[in-house]
Structure 1
Amino acid sequence: MALGGGMSCVKYLLFCFNLLFAVTGLIILIVGAKAEYNAYPYMDLTDEKFYSSAPVVLIIVGIIIFIVAFFGCCGAVKENHWMITTFSVFLLLIFVAELGVGIAGYVKQKDLEASFLRSLNESIAEYPTNKDVRNTFDIVQTDLTCCGINGPKDWATNSLPIPDSCCAAREITAGTAAACTPETAHPDGCLNKLVGLFQDIAVVLGGVGLGIAFIQLLGVIFACCLARSIRSQYETV
Structure 2
Amino acid sequence: MAGVSKCIKYSMFAFNFLFWLCGCVILGVSIWVRVSKNVQKELNIEGGSLLAAVDLMIAVGAIIMVLGFFGCCGAIRESRCLLLLFFIGLFLILALQITAGILGVVYKPKIDAQLTESFQKLLPLSGQDESFKNSFETIQKENECCGLVHGYTDWGANVPASCNCPSTGNCVSSGGNKYYKETCLNIIADFFKKHLAIIIGIAFGLAAVELFGLGFSMTLYCQIGKK
TM interval, short-chain normalised: 0.7 to 0.9
| Aligned partner letter, 2:17 | L
Supply the distance in 1 between the matched residues of 2:7 and 2:108 (Cα, whole angstroms).
43
Q: Which of the residues 216, 225, 237 maps onto 2:210? A: 216
Supply the distance in 2 between the matched residues of 1:45 and 1:204 (Cα, whole angstroms).
24
Structure 1 spans left out of the alignment, 5+ residues: 172-180
Q: Which of the residues 161, 164, 175 maps onto 2:161? A: 164
In the other structure, the counterpart of 2:20 is 22
| CA separation of 1:190 and 1:126: change in aligned 2, threshold 3 A | closer
Number of residue pairs the alignment of both structures matches = 218
Q: How does 1:9-158 map to 2 (within 5 A)?
A: 9-38=7-36, 40-42=38-40, 44=43, 47-131=46-130, 133-150=132-149, 152-155=151-154
Aligned-residue Cα RMSD (Å) equals 2.6
Q: Which of the residues 199, 205, 210 maps onto 2:199? A: 205
Supply the distance in 1 between the matched residues of 2:15 and 2:137 (Cα, whole angstroms).
47
The secondary structure found in structure 2 opposite 1:124 is coil
| Aligned partner letter, 1:217 | L
Supply the distance in 1 between the matched residues of 2:44 and 2:105 (Cα, whole angstroms).
20
| CA separation of 1:151 and 1:220: change in aligned 2, threshold 3 A | same
Normalised by the length of structure 2, the TM-score is 0.83
| CA separation of 1:119 and 1:189: change in aligned 2, threshold 3 A | same
Supply the distance in 1 between the matched residues of 2:62 and 2:106 (Cα, whole angstroms).
26
Larger displacement relative to structure 2 (187-196 or 127-136):
127-136
Structure 2 spans left out of the alignment, 5+ residues: 168-175
**1:104-152, Cα deviation, whole Å (9 max, x unpaired):** 1111011111111112222121533434643553343234321013554
Q: Could you tell me how far 1:64 is from its partner in structure 2?
A: 2.2
Checking the alignment, whether the CA contact within 8 Å between 2:126 and 2:156 is kept in structure 1 is no
Supply the distance in 1 between the matched residues of 2:213 and 2:49 (Cα, whole angstroms).
28
Supply the distance in 2 between the matched residues of 1:41 and 1:220 (Cα, whole angstroms).
38
Normalised by the length of structure 1, the TM-score is 0.80
**1:174-195, Cα deviation, whole Å (9 max, x unpaired):** xxxxxxx841x32211122221
In the other structure, the counterpart of 2:224 is 230
Supply the distance in 1 between the matched residues of 2:62 and 2:98 (Cα, whole angstroms).
17
- The percent of aligned pairs where both chains have the same amino acid is 27
